[in-house]
Amino acid sequence: MNTLTTIDELGFAPALQQDVLEDRTSDHALLEATRSGDQDAFAELVSRYRNQITSYIYRMTNDYDGAVDLAQETFVRVYGAADRYQRTYAFSTYIYRIATNLAISELRKRKRRKLVSLTGFFQPTDGGEAKELNPPDGRPLQDLELVDTERRNAVQRAIGTLPEKYRAPLILRDVDGHSYDEIAKILETSEGTVKSRISRARGFLREKMRAYL
Amino acid sequence: MRKNNCEMVRRELEELMLGEACSTAATEHLRDCASCREFHEQQTKLRQIVGSLGTVEAPADFDFRLRARLAQSNGSVVYWPFARRGLAIAATVLVFLIGVVVVRDVMNKRGVDYVAKQPEVHEPAKPADVTPVVKDEKKPEQVAVNEAPPIIKKSDGHPQTNYRKRPLSSLAISSTGAEVINGKPPLNMSAAFPIDASPQAFTVSLEDGRGNARTISVPTISFGSQRIVQRGNQLTPKRVW
């Protein structure tokens, strides 16, 4: 007669180990470890989110160097506020919120400094149809890759002309693929507002991108 | 009804994730409604283009730069709270000192205003090492400065003193005059110098002890206001000194 001597023999061991492992490597756990001085845990968090955050801020600001700088500032703030972090929301929501605030703050600073981007140079101030610096000629290009690149540039420019309150939810939804609930938490607004803003942003884009659709 | 249907279907299509299947009701509506079908096609294409933007990668030295930045900010995190506390204390002390200075200034100003409102009495110059000899023919009467002021009878028969009530500070200012005139030490330093508003000039002869004599004519002393002079004329007996 066999007697079970350890819990491993019950067959639950792999599942338990998996749970423990997942718990140890969750964002919350990593931040907890960071709080207690574990530099490797913070390095792991950075490696998980650095591309997402850099990309998101780049889509918001349309400036790669500035986006890298703001992404680093985001991580600095996460690190500095690790002691005050609460598990109310997912860590991704938390870090995206910081990134959003930084990006919007940067956009407002630029507005105050009246920085004029070359792509938005021909944008009318009365809210009418924007004229592109390099407008598409409408003729089909031979190289598919060129067409694709041109289309991406056009959509990036078009996103850059959106007001920031429409830009952020559109990028979070259509570029980064977040759910409405997550976006609402990131932007600290209601889900209904997020849906209506995304719908309006798509409407704007559809008008601007008519030649490519 | 159809318009409502279109709005509902478009809203449903908006909320779907890319590639997610829509409900059967929406599928049926799309089959029948050309404008909604066109909207759906454009929407799908647009979302594909936007989605194709993809993720931009962070630079290779991202971690290195972040570490340097964290090290830099860590230093400031350690010292900044102390600096902030120090600044707060310094600011509090500064505000307190400014408050004290302002309050003192206001108090002093009030005191000056109060004294300034009193009639001015000029103090005669005090000679240093000379013995004053009064040349005046008439013998000056010693002024008993600590005596009660002369009482004048008013028309209604009630007695009245011949000076107005004044604070002690103004009395002390006028207490050195008697020494100059009669060569005797003052009887009481806190006594009042009598106000003589006589318009005549006052002549004094001074001898330095070696036979040298000098005569000084002292002009009429002004007591600050014609009103006082006139009142003095009325109330003070002539040639009290």
Q: What is the pLDDT of residues B113-127, one digit of tens each?
A: 655 555 555 555 555
CA-based nearest distance A115→chain B, Å: 24
DSSP state of A9: G
Q: Is residue A18 over pLDDT 50?
A: yes
CA-based nearest distance A88→chain B, Å: 26
CA-based nearest distance A199→chain B, Å: 7
Only one residue has tokens 């407008």, namely: A135
How high is the pLDDT of residue A16? Answer: 46
How high is the pLDDT of residue B204? Answer: 75
Of B58, B63, B73, the CB nearest to A54: B58
Rounded to an integer, the average pLDDT of A97-124 is: 75
How high is the pLDDT of residue B144? Answer: 44
Tokens of B193: 């110098």
How high is the pLDDT of residue B178? Answer: 45
Taking alpha carbons only, the member of A205, A169, A170, A171 closest to residue A184 is A169
Rounded to an integer, the average pLDDT of B29-52 is: 88
Band (A25; pLDDT cuts 50, 70, 90): confident
How high is the pLDDT of residue A127? Answer: 44
Contact A159, A61 (CB under 8 A): no
Separation of alpha carbons B193 and A79, rounded Å: 83
Contact (CB<8Å) B46/A80: no
Q: Is residue B198 over pLDDT 90?
A: no
Separation of alpha carbons B173 and B126, rounded Å: 13
Least confidently predicted of A192-196, B37-41, B74-78, B130-134: B130-134
Contact A108, A100 (CB under 8 A): no
Of B45, B62, B70, the CB nearest to A76: B70
More confident residue, A155 or B129: A155
**B50 Cβ neighbours under 8 A, 6+ residues apart:** A155, A159, A170, A174, A175, A205
Beta partners for residue B207, in sequence order: B131, B213
CA-based nearest distance A213→chain B, Å: 6
Phi-psi region at B143: left, alpha or beta (left = phi > 0; alpha = psi -120 to 50): beta
More confident residue, B221 or B41: B41
Residues of A in contact with B63 (CB under 8 A): 43, 46-47, 50
Question: What rounded mean pLDDT belongs to chain A?
Answer: 80
Q: Which chain A residue shows the shortest CA-CA distance from B56?
A: A55
- Highest mean pLDDT pick, B85-89, B127-131, B205-209, B226-230: B85-89
Q: Which chain B residue shows the shortest CA-CA distance from A55?
A: B56
How high is the pLDDT of residue A7? Answer: 44
How high is the pLDDT of residue B207? Answer: 77
**B36 Cβ neighbours under 8 A, 6+ residues apart:** B6, B9, B10, B13, B29, B30
* SS3 (DSSP) at B4: helix
How high is the pLDDT of residue B159? Answer: 53
Separation of alpha carbons B201 and B218, rounded Å: 6
Separation of alpha carbons A132 and A136, rounded Å: 8
Contact (CB<8Å) B49/A43: no
How high is the pLDDT of residue A192? Answer: 92
Of B43, B52, B70, the CB nearest to A152: B52
Contact (CB<8Å) B49/A67: no
Contact A62, A117 (CB under 8 A): yes
Residues of A in contact with B40 (CB under 8 A): none
Band (A60; pLDDT cuts 50, 70, 90): very high
Q: Is residue A90 over pLDDT 50?
A: yes
Separation of alpha carbons B161 and B143, rounded Å: 16
Contact B214, B167 (CB under 8 A): no
End-to-end CA distance of chain A: 73
- Please state, in angstroms and as integers, the Cα–Cα distance from residue A63 to each residue in A104, A106, A112, A176, B7, following that order: 13, 11, 17, 18, 37
Residues of B in contact with A152 (CB under 8 A): 49, 52-53
DSSP state of B124: P
Of A80, A180, A198, the CB nearest to B77: A80
How high is the pLDDT of residue B173? Answer: 45
Q: What angle do CA A12, A17, A23 make, to 5 degrees?
A: 130
How high is the pLDDT of residue B142? Answer: 46
Contact status of A87 with chain B (Cβ, < 8 Å): no
SS (H, E, C) A74-127: HHHHHHHCHHHCCCCCCHHHHHHHHHHHHHHHHHHHHHHHCCCCCCCCCCCCCC
How high is the pLDDT of residue B235? Answer: 53
Sheet-wide strand order for B213-218:
B131-134, B202-207, B213-218
Of A51, A80, A206, the CB nearest to B46: A206
Q: Is residue A135 over pLDDT 60?
A: no
Band (B54; pLDDT cuts 50, 70, 90): confident
Contact (CB<8Å) A68/B69: no
Q: Is residue B70 over pLDDT 60?
A: yes
How high is the pLDDT of residue A142? Answer: 62
End-to-end CA distance of chain B: 121
**A179 Cβ neighbours under 8 A, 6+ residues apart:** none
Only one residue has tokens 């299509």, namely: B13
Contact B70, A79 (CB under 8 A): yes
Rounded to an integer, the average pLDDT of A23-50 is: 87
Q: Identify each DSSP E strand in B55-199 by its residue range.
A: 131-134, 151-153, 159-161
ipTM comes to 0.71
CA-based nearest distance B56→chain A, Å: 5
Contact status of B55 with chain A (Cβ, < 8 Å): yes
Taking the model in full, what pTM does it have?
Answer: 0.55
How high is the pLDDT of residue A112? Answer: 77
Mutate to test the interface with A, among B47, B66, B80 (most CBs of A within 10 A): B66
Q: What percent of chain B has pLDDT over 90?
A: 9
Least confidently predicted of B27-31, B49-53, B178-182: B178-182
Q: Is residue B134 over pLDDT 60?
A: no
Separation of alpha carbons A182 and B229, rounded Å: 94
Residues of B in contact with A206 (CB under 8 A): 42-43, 46
Q: Is residue A166 over pLDDT 60?
A: yes
Q: Is residue A28 over pLDDT 80?
A: yes
* SS3 (DSSP) at B215: strand
Contact status of A206 with chain B (Cβ, < 8 Å): yes
**A192 Cβ neighbours under 8 A, 6+ residues apart:** none
How high is the pLDDT of residue B171? Answer: 43
Contact status of B75 with chain A (Cβ, < 8 Å): no
Q: Which chain B residue shows the shortest CA-CA distance from A152?
A: B53
